[in-house]
């Protein structure tokens, strides 16, 4: 947005003279989490997730067999 006009970053939609309704959200210039602490915070979250052992009772081989199903190939 520049002033009161929107500028397209990617390809401009082909609308001709047709009007397009858009919703604009203004974001703060500052990142929500400082980039220096972002990695540290992510590591803490992953450590907490690992400590809960939510997936500790899942047999990975059995899970893969249940989840993955081979599809029949066309013409074979």
User: What is the model's pLDDT at position 22?
Assistant: 84
Domain boundaries in the chain?
Answer: 1-68
User: What is the model's pLDDT at position 35?
Assistant: 67
Give the model confidence (pLDDT) of 3-58 as tens digits: 888 888 888 878 778 887 888 888 777 666 566 688 888 899 889 888 887 777 88
How far CA 19 is from CA of 8, 14, 16, 49, in Å, comes to: 15, 11, 8, 48
């Amino acid at each position: 947005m520049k002033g009161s006009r929107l500028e397209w970053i990617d390809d401009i939609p082909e609308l001709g003279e047709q009007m397009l309704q858009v919703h604009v959200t203004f974001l703060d210039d500052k990142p929500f989490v400082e980039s220096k602490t972002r990695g540290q915070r992510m590591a803490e979250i992953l450590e907490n997730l690992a400590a809960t052992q939510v997936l500790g009772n899942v047999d990975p081989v059995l899970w893969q067999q249940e989840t993955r199903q081979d599809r029949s190939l066309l013409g074979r």
